Amino acid sequence: MEAFRRKTGDPWKVFEDEIPSCSLRHTGQEIGLQDELSLEHLQLLWERFSRPLTPTTSTFSVGRPCGETVASHPRPGGEIMDRGTMRGESPEGSMGLEEFRAALRIMPGSEHWLSDTDKLFDEVDTSCEGRICWAEFCSYILQHALQRSSKDKARDDTLTSQPLIRHCRYNKQEPVICIVAVSQPPPLRFISVSKAGVLSVWSKHLHLLKTLELVGDPIEGGNIRGKFRSWATDAVFMPNVHKLAVATLGRELRFFDVSPSDCTEELHVFGLSYAVTSMCYWYDAKSPGDRSLLMWGDEKGFVNLLWFLRPLKGLFDIPFSDQEGPHRLYMQELPPNSHLVTYQQLCRVQQEPINRIKYNSQGELIMTSSESATSSVVIMDLNLRRESYIWKINKGVTSFDFCPELSLLVTCGLDPAVRLWNRYVTSQPIATLHGHDTTVLDVAIHRTLGKIFSYSKEAVLKIWDIPSQLCVRTLQLKFPCVKPGLTPEHGHTPFLLHRDAPHMLLVTCRDFLGCLHLQEEGSDNTPTSFTCAIYNPPLKLVVTACTDSSLVVWDAETGCRTLEVRNAHGEEEITCMALDHTHRHLLTGATNGTIKAMHLLIEKNFKVIVVYGLLSPQMWDLLNGHNLHKMEAVSNTEVTGVICFPGNRLLAVGWSKQIVQYSIPDPNETYVRADLSWKSGRQHRDDILAVAHCRLRRLLATGSFDREVIVWSLDTEEPLTKFHWSPPEQAQGAVDGLLFLQGRAQSGQWVSRPLLLSAQAGYVCWWSITGPPHCHGQYYAPQRAGERVVAFSSDQDNSVLLTGDTTGFLHMWDISQYCLGTSDEPTEERPPLLQSWKAHDGAVVCVELVESHTQLYLLSAATDGTARLWTRDGGAVGTFGQEVGWRLDDVTTYQNAREEKSQQASEEEEEEGKEEGAGKGTRDSQSEAGRYEAKEDGQVQRAAMAAQRQRSNECYDDLIVEGNVPDSEELLFSQDSMVSSHSGFTSSCKSPAQNTLTVSPAPHTAADQCQGKMASRQIRRQTFGRIDPKKLSLMDNLCTPFQALIMPELSPVSEVPLRPQMLERVRWFSSNTTLTSPLLSSNSLETASVPDAHTEGSDSPPHSPVLL
């Protein structure tokens, strides 16, 4: 340990080097008890806290009749809990659980709160003391109200981590003027330039790699470099040539060669016309060898262009020299016709020093800004062929950014406002964003995220949403140099937005750097491979750990994500998790030896996690991002197991081959040293891979890579026994897991019976603490050879054992009677297998038995990135994070129930289709039979219809003969009478809707509905099956079968007999009209043949004439 301390130097440096964590809350919309408490309820509670209730009997006049008593409530054990039973005498102004129940019960509407009272009390009682005070209750209600109110606001996930702060301790307390990103050659680095000329090279995680200081001019007569006596003003990186250009107030440019391992000064260009105040660099990324441009603005407002014609061959014509150090080049002596470089100075575009200069290659535009009110921002053509755009802004501009895709210009100035401008409109801004209190120093546009970043003088960073023009995030960067009432000093370019992957935002404040990670493009919330998982019974939460060092908290009742912690251990993989005895602290270990403890202050709607660091850990509150504890690291190797004991004591094991203890006597203590005083010292000769704890017998078991298992006594810290398993041939016997049977530990025969299980090379071995023999049995659990069991669990009474292997299978074994015999020979028989199913595509890393709503469920997590919940018989409840959640108290919401319901519906549809096809054939045969049976009846009915038509024709002829033309009403009456005369026929042809109604129960299934449809169709076919389609009346190509039933049959007419009265009328019409119709002409009428039998006095009625 001392050697490790000497090697590392600073034991807390590991926390400074890792990426800060960030928590994302996923809240639901459920309404809890805390949401239903009104102001009146809070006032009554305040009175009860002032004079707490006794749970036995109390009398109140508020909320219930006077004199009514409040009954006491027994504890689960049966005894009555009075004040002070939880923790001695009750403090003044505090309540226990029973008092809290009684206080809420007397309030209006409390009948709906009984189920949530205990939950609310546990959430407020964060210290687990069994009592809460009014201040704690108010703090909880205020935090919950704040969380609920923020749900309606726009959620911003742009920042994925808390700021990582670094101190540039070599800057000589001078501010950082700018920071540049060096992406070529890889890897990504950042170089900060201080005002005093100190260059610091940082990794992408802001680890300091190298420092370099600018030096002055050589002393006359020698090569000794003097002290740098000027100030650096700006710097820019030249990616295609791997150079860094630094400008100073001494009217010079310094060029540095940047390589992955070094940064050296190569060229010193001096003698510029004016001091450089801002620079930018452009090159063609598709053709890096083509000409590139270094552009700068100076203190007089001029724009200077330095074209590098062949940058890959060299920047300047440098003659050979034996001079040590960088080559010096006088700017005024540049050859005018050089084949490598040309220099050009444009006209004066600003009246003040240029503070920003940018170049847009698409339109060949040069954009500059200054603090001048007459030319705040100027956009001009590179070739000076087009008119310039000039923005005149009061008090000038301190910085700007331009997005050509959006044609959006964003400016900031001395006033606390951010303005958005159209590229072609200089008169007024599109929008003005207010929110800062002091001068805004810098702005930047991130087009992909649709955000604008602004940074003010008081170290406040704001993120604005471009479409809505709203501030979605405000972050006060807590730099140590920021003091209340004092304005810190900032450099020329206070932050850098790195738009390429990884997306980062670097902010400077005096001699400090801050790094914030941004959301990646196309990033989603899909978890990566899981390494372990754990269930919290009191809070009904499932916590999963991922290989990308993230933690996800799930609600076991619904399967929804409630909270996500990113970069919990920086970028290190999380290897193990454990809960303390209060189930309020979650401990996690990682591959770099760090252990962190998380304090769970979680409820269904407001979920907060406080993370403590142990072993090499830190403790931080994810509610405000502050670290609470940091503890000493004993090794930089993997932590494989953590055990928590009462009294804030911890125990950790891992590849360090030793047992390390920690104790936190003072919760306010920030730094805690490791305790290596384990009495037995280091007993394992190889890496410790597993650990288990027997609470009742105070035993500890550890297993190592060399197949050795040691059982320890926690009282004496001495080993009680050691096991060494001999595996079969070609099997690696490393201990993959250990499990104490807590239920058997309560038995009086635990000494002689197996109490400890170990998973080694796929075998489950059963060990007793005393012996011989120690091994009572072993069996191979996986279905295929060569697999391993990496996770197993048992219920409280040890009646079943659940194992998960590397193939993704889960096996449930009946171990209620396994290895309970007195035989001295170990058995190799398997216990009865209850269930076995394929649960995951990857290796199962965690299995747990979960008890909820008096039912037993199975929790499993695997390396394929899925965590699932199962019923005891292997039915799938669902996958955590699925689109449609579940409710454990509703079986119909389970995944297997939904699948069975869907399958049953599809089967019913298939059966309905088959029945409909069979019914169609039956209906056809029945309709044919109906036609044959009704043939004779149809003949009789047609004869009756013919007689009725004859009588109707006689009536119609009488109307014509009398010289009366029937109007529409008479014709309608005639038709009605004709229909009524056939009432005997039509009554037998009524539709099912016209028949006498019979009440029948509505069909309840698809089969009943199908049978009803078949019956109605059969009735219609039997009724109308004898209709002759050749005799149907056609109306617009549509047949009307009901009209055909009452329509008389028409026979062809060869001769039309006419009476003398009709002939006289026809002759009169023919002589008095000009009609030439052959049917109405006198010739045709005279030539018409009249039968001899027809006379004026004949009794036989004439046929009705056909008039056209």
Q: What is the pLDDT of residues 679-709, one digit of tens each?
A: 888 889 899 999 999 988 999 999 999 999 9
Residue 885 neighbours by CB under 8 Å, 6+ apart: 558, 559, 560, 878, 893
Q: Which of 169-183, 577-591, 735-749 has the lowest mean pLDDT?
A: 577-591
1085-1096 mean pLDDT: 41
**Residue 1071: pLDDT band with limits 50, 70, 90:** low
Average pLDDT of the chain is 76
Distance, CA of 509 to CA of 477 (rounded, Å) = 9
In one letter, which amino acid is 922?
A: T
**Residue 88: pLDDT band with limits 50, 70, 90:** very low
**Residue 438: pLDDT band with limits 50, 70, 90:** very high
In one letter, which amino acid is 641?
A: G
Q: What is the pLDDT of residues 733-764, one digit of tens each?
A: 789 999 999 888 888 778 778 889 999 999 99
**The predicted structure's pLDDT at residue 769:** 85
Distance, CA of 796 to CA of 807 (rounded, Å) = 27
Q: What is the pLDDT of residues 795-817, one digit of tens each?
A: 988 999 999 999 999 999 999 98
Q: Which of 14-28, 268-282, 958-972 has the lowest mean pLDDT?
A: 958-972
**The predicted structure's pLDDT at residue 1017:** 60
**Residue 1090: pLDDT band with limits 50, 70, 90:** very low
The residue among 555, 543, 502, 550 whose CA lies nearest residue 526 is: 550
**Residue 226: pLDDT band with limits 50, 70, 90:** low
**The predicted structure's pLDDT at residue 581:** 79
**Residue 147: pLDDT band with limits 50, 70, 90:** low
Alpha-carbon separation of residue 396 from 330, 352, 414, 816 (angstroms) = 34, 10, 7, 83
Q: Which of 34-43, 137-146, 147-156, 904-913 has the lowest mean pLDDT?
A: 147-156
**The predicted structure's pLDDT at residue 912:** 73
Asked whether the predicted pLDDT for residue 639 surpasses 80, the reply is: yes
542-562 mean pLDDT: 89
For the chain, the first-to-last Cα distance in angstroms comes to 123
Residue recorded with tokens 């992957």: 501
The answer to whether the pTM exceeds 0.75 is no
DSSP 1072: H
Higher-confidence position of 1041 and 451 = 451
Q: What's the sign of the alpha-carbon dihedral 166, 168, 174, 176?
A: negative
**The predicted structure's pLDDT at residue 129:** 78
Please check whether residue 701 is in contact with residue 711, taking contact to mean a CB–CB distance below 8 angstroms.
yes
Distance, CA of 713 to CA of 731 (rounded, Å) = 31
Question: Strand 198-203 relative to strand 189-194: parallel, antiparallel, unpaired?
Answer: antiparallel
Residue recorded with tokens 């501009």: 397
Using DSSP, state whether 75 is helix, strand or coil.
coil
Using DSSP, state whether 313 is helix, strand or coil.
coil
Question: Strand 1038-1039 relative to strand 1034-1035: parallel, antiparallel, unpaired?
Answer: antiparallel
Distance, CA of 70 to CA of 59 (rounded, Å) = 7
Burial class (CB within 10 angstroms; exposed 0-12, middle 13-18, buried 19+) of 619 = buried
Q: What is the pLDDT of residues 589-629, one digit of tens each?
A: 888 888 877 666 544 333 333 333 334 434 434 333 344 55
Burial class (CB within 10 angstroms; exposed 0-12, middle 13-18, buried 19+) of 727 = middle
* CA-angle at 866, arms to 864 and 872, nearest 5°: 120
848-862 mean pLDDT: 89
Q: What is the pLDDT of residues 288-305, one digit of tens each?
A: 999 999 999 999 999 999
Please check whether residue 820 is in contact with residue 845, taking contact to mean a CB–CB distance below 8 angstroms.
no
Asked whether the predicted pLDDT for residue 916 surpasses 70, the reply is: no
Q: Which of 409-413, 566-570, 683-687 has the lowest mean pLDDT?
A: 566-570
Q: Which of 395-399, 766-770, 942-946 has the lowest mean pLDDT?
A: 942-946
**The predicted structure's pLDDT at residue 780:** 92
Please check whether residue 174 is in contact with residue 214, taking contact to mean a CB–CB distance below 8 angstroms.
no
Count of other CB atoms within 10 angstroms of residue 310: 14
Asked whether the predicted pLDDT for residue 936 surpasses 70, the reply is: no
Asked whether the predicted pLDDT for residue 555 surpasses 80, the reply is: yes
**The predicted structure's pLDDT at residue 2:** 56
Q: Output the six-digit token pair for 570.
A: 């920086």
**Residue 306: pLDDT band with limits 50, 70, 90:** very high
Residue 598 neighbours by CB under 8 Å, 6+ apart: 551, 565, 585, 586, 587, 588, 609, 610, 611, 612
Asked whether the predicted pLDDT for residue 460 surpasses 70, the reply is: yes
Asked whether the predicted pLDDT for residue 864 surpasses 70, the reply is: yes
DSSP 891: G
Distance, CA of 716 to CA of 421 (rounded, Å) = 75
Asked whether the predicted pLDDT for residue 1 surpasses 80, the reply is: no
Residue 680, Ramachandran bin (φ over 0: left; ψ between -120 and 50: alpha; else beta): alpha
Write phi, then psi, for 307 (nearest 5 degrees): -90, 125
Distance, CA of 514 to CA of 337 (rounded, Å) = 46
Higher-confidence position of 858 and 598 = 858
Using DSSP, state whether 916 is helix, strand or coil.
helix
**The predicted structure's pLDDT at residue 520:** 66
Using DSSP, state whether 143 is helix, strand or coil.
helix
Alpha-carbon separation of residue 760 from 653, 707, 727 (angstroms) = 19, 8, 8
250-277 mean pLDDT: 91
Q: Which of 105-114, 259-268, 528-537, 1081-1090 has the lowest mean pLDDT?
A: 1081-1090
DSSP 74: B
**The predicted structure's pLDDT at residue 20:** 67
Helix (H) or strand (E) holding 368: strand 365-369
Alpha-carbon separation of residue 388 from 105, 306, 366, 412, 700 (angstroms) = 76, 22, 10, 20, 79
Distance, CA of 517 to CA of 566 (rounded, Å) = 11
Please check whether residue 717 is in contact with residue 702, taking contact to mean a CB–CB distance below 8 angstroms.
no
**The predicted structure's pLDDT at residue 1064:** 73
Asked whether the predicted pLDDT for residue 175 surpasses 70, the reply is: yes
Q: What is the pLDDT of residues 344-393, one digit of tens each?
A: 999 899 989 999 999 999 889 999 999 999 999 999 999 888 899 999 99
Asked whether the predicted pLDDT for residue 74 surpasses 50, the reply is: no
In one letter, which amino acid is 162?
A: Q
